[in-house]
Amino acid sequence: MEIPTAGILVQDKLDETAKEKVLAFIHSISNDVSANSFRVNGCLLGYELGPGYPEEMEEYSGSSTFIGWTPKDIIGLRVVSNDDKDHAVLDEVTAGIADAVNGIITFCHTLKTHLAANEPVGQAAIAC
């Protein structure tokens, strides 16, 4: 079984202010936060502040064609289970964090895989 994941691309490297915004949002929706995981409505989620593997940011190098800038960093989210409730919670948490850091959401795939050349993308666009 695959674990549902999402990423939030950001224009600049995550500095302490951006990280604090992410953590403040997580703490605002969960009273069960530890290390890199937290619970929302009974769903266990995990997060990473920065790429999950060394080549991850390279996968988004061509996305400036679609979003107008080249992502410099990413916030990764995952939910441990795979039912409708977990997907809904992951979606809501991802949207909230993206709003807090002015990021672009990507669900498991690079943007260029899903968009035609020169297709405009809004600031809160979702590629899935």
pTM of the model as a whole: 0.82
How far, in Å, CA of 24 to CA of 33, rounded? Answer: 11
Task: Write out the two tokens for 109.
Answer: 């795939």
Residues contacting residue 86 through CB under 8 Å, at least 6 positions apart = 4, 43, 79, 80
pLDDT tens per residue, range 50-65: 998 889 899 888 888 8
Tell which residue, 22, 66, 69, 67, has the closest CA to residue 45.
Answer: 22
pLDDT tens per residue, range 61-85: 888 888 899 999 999 999 988 888 9
